[in-house]
Structure 1
Amino acid sequence: MQREEPTARPRPPWWRLVVVGLVAVAAAGHLVVVTLAALPPNTYSEAARPATSYLGAYFAQNWRLFAPNPVSADRTVRFQGAYEQDGELVVTDWLDWTDVELDLVRHRLVGGRAGYVTNKLYGPLGSRYGTLDTDQREVADVADPKDVVSWQRLAQDLRAGSDDALDDSQVDLYLVYDRATTRLATEALEAQRPDSRLVAVRYATRSQGVTPWEARGEDADGRERARPAVRQRINGWREPLRGDEAERASIRDFWASHR
């Protein structure tokens, strides 16, 4: 019997090898970037920050429970709105929504103690605003609720005069968190004032360091006086953003339960 020679397998086309190679390189690069972003803050992670910025809207990791940077400040996000009443524009008092969320921690021994929303927003709100240059900050910091512009106009004005694609991507990331916080602010303020129709909203981030270790033995007034000064940034006024009815109902229920 004549032995049949094995048939040689055809080689895959060159373009397939190129595509597989590019995908493998991209996946490996992404894995390295995610690893750098997840490391505790250090010289290397800070140097890699420009390359990891694209992860900001989707991936977050902090090490504030442990060294080298444990929690050392009370941080809050507050909301303020403006609505029309009898032909006049009325500005509300500040609503400390972080304090509302903390009711979960203070008054519930079991369940519902996961990280609260404004705590997760606080860091990105500051870091994303920090990427804007001076001219862009002037656009973002709308000081009068009567001067509020549409979100489309705001995005156009922030990108105006820039041919840098990286700069545009930083604007996009800033707007991701700006819109998310504005949406929460809109729904929280309307839960607080269900009969008012907001025409503009804004938020403020506020931070105050804890009592220094060396002042821990003083009385309550002394410990409070020893605390660092409050740091606050008030964002510009924005056009209100509203979610669907289920989302608004959830915020209303949360407000009713934890105010």
Structure 2
Amino acid sequence: MNTKPESSPETDLPGSGAAAVVRPRPTWWVKLIAFAACLLTLWHIAASFLWIAPYSALREIPTQEVLAGYMLPMFGQSWSVFAPEPINGDYHFNVRAVIEKDGAEVETGWVSATDVELSMIRYNLFPPRAGIQSSEVASGQMNAYNKLSADQQAVVGLDFAEDGWEEWMVRSFDELEGDNPSTEAYMAEEHLSTAYATQVAYAIWGADAVVKVQYRVSRQNVVPYEERNDPGAQRPDPTFSTTGWRLPIEEEGQSRENFADTFRSQFERIQP
């Protein structure tokens, strides 16, 4: 009896008695995409590690600016919910404006942008990132504000509501006597905060009506840990960074319409 298996195109290969499957090699562009994906993955892991870990000289290899530009706003994270220095306070960002109404300039009341945004994420299993913007802006502004001297903080509290106001503000800092801390970091936060306040004001009262804006940042600590079991314990009073009136500013490429669609719809939803 002939027990030899029938040959087939897949198994009848020269020089081989075993079954084998010939697979085509990946083309050059497939290899290039795979290589690029590996590099991107390695960079993301390394950047995340450097961003989360305590500060060290390793951060200066890509530089702090490069890390911040990559990690923020999409990948920002930290271990600040854990010891030894967990988050122990809330930041709030409030906005008001002077608007034109019936031919006169009217000062509006304060609106908590933070309350509006937090309502987007409360009881939401898939919270949008738009729900934490004001808290991040407020945190950055107050941290930079607290590093200023008392004289510099007094300048921040002045009104700068004319064209080129940021340059006038820098000149006011430069005119101070004595050895004062650098204001470069604060001016970056001032610009961001005013631009955010501008979008909030435009969304609520309309871009055509807003003449100038003012924002107010506050921080309120939670009940101290040692008083956690005291039913009568009260949260400490909030602290504020005092700022004056500002002329509205917008960043290139911003869409006031998209911001207004998201913010105003939520603002109207939570109104009593």
TM-score by length of 1: 0.65
* Distance of aligned partners of 1:107 and 1:173 in 2 relative to their CA distance in 1, 3 Å threshold: same
In the alignment, which residue of structure 2 is the partner of 1:102?
Answer: 118
Counterpart Cα distance in 1 of 2:235 and 2:66: 33
What residue ranges of structure 1 are gaps of 5+ in the alignment? 1-30
The partner residue of 1:178 within 190, 194, 197 is: 190
* 159 and 38 in structure 1: CA distance in 2 versus 1, 3 angstrom threshold: farther
Instruction: Give the Cα separation in 2 of the matches to 1:132 and 1:74.
Output: 21
Q: How many residues align?
A: 209
Shift of 1:183: 0.9
Displacement of 1:186 in angstroms is 0.9
- Asked if 1 retains the 8 angstrom alpha-carbon contact of 2:148 and 2:183, the reply is yes
Offset, 1:240: 0.8
In structure 2, relative to structure 1, the CA distance for the partners of 1:136 and 1:209 (3 Å cut) is: closer
| 1:137 and 2:153 are equivalent in the alignment | yes
Alignment match, 2:257 = 249
**1:88–1:181 CA distance, 2 compared to 1 (3 A):** same
Report the Cα distance in structure 2 between the residues aligned to 1:234 and 1:161, rounded to whole angstroms: 18
77, 82, 90: which one aligns with 1:74? 90
Tell me the secondary structure at the aligned position of residue 71 of structure 1.
coil
Matched residues, percent identical?
A: 26
Structure 2 partner of 1:120: 136
Match of 2:222 among 210, 223, 232: 210
Distance across 1 between alignment mates of 2:250 and 2:130: 24
Aligned residue identity for 1:174: Y
1:43-64 deviation digits (Å, cap 9, x = unpaired)? xx69x9xx9xx94797376432
Q: Return the structure number with greater relative CO, CA threshold 8 A, min gap 6.
A: 1
- 8 Å CA contact 1:125–1:178 kept in 2: the answer is yes
Note if contact 2:99-2:210 (Cα within 8 Å) is conserved in structure 1. Answer: yes
Letter of the 2:215 partner, please give it: Y
Which residue number corresponds to residue 200 of structure 1? 212
Change (3 A) 1:72 1:200: same
What do the CA deviations read for 1:215-248 (whole angstroms, capped 9, x no partner)? 55566xx45xx22222222312211113458520
Tell me if 1:157 matches 2:172.
Answer: yes
C-alpha separation between the residues in 1 aligned to 2:88 and 2:53? 19
Letter in 1 for 2:184: D
Name the CA shift for 1:63/1:204 in 2 (closer, same or farther; >3 Å).
farther
Displacement of 1:182 after TM fit? 0.6
Q: Given the superposition, is the C-alpha separation of residues 198 and 113 from structure 1 closer, same or farther in structure 2, using an over 3 Å criterion? A: closer
1:156 to partner: Cα distance: 2.4
Give the superposition deviation at 1:250. Answer: 1.7
Offset at residue 85 of structure 1 (A): 3.6
Match of 1:235 among 229, 234, 243: 243
Note the residue ranges of structure 2 that are not aligned, 5 or more in a row: 1-45, 69-75, 268-272
Inter-partner Cα distance in structure 2 for 1:232 and 1:111: 28
Letter in 1 for 2:259: I
Q: Distance in 2 between matches of 1:257 and 1:184?
A: 17
Task: Give the deviation of 1:38 after TM superposition.
Answer: 5.1
Task: Report the Cα offset of residue 89 of structure 1.
Answer: 3.4
Question: Aligned to 1:63, what secondary structure does the other structure show?
Answer: coil
Structure 2: how far apart are the matches of 1:200 and 1:148? 11
Q: 1:215 to 1:130 in 2, by over 3 A?
A: closer
**Normalized against structure 2, the TM-score is what?**
0.62
What amino acid is aligned across from residue 155 of structure 1 in structure 2? Answer: V
Which string of whole-angstrom CA distances, capped at 9 and with x for unpartnered residues, describes residues 135-192 of structure 1? 332322115x77897222222222336898x95xx32221111111111111111211
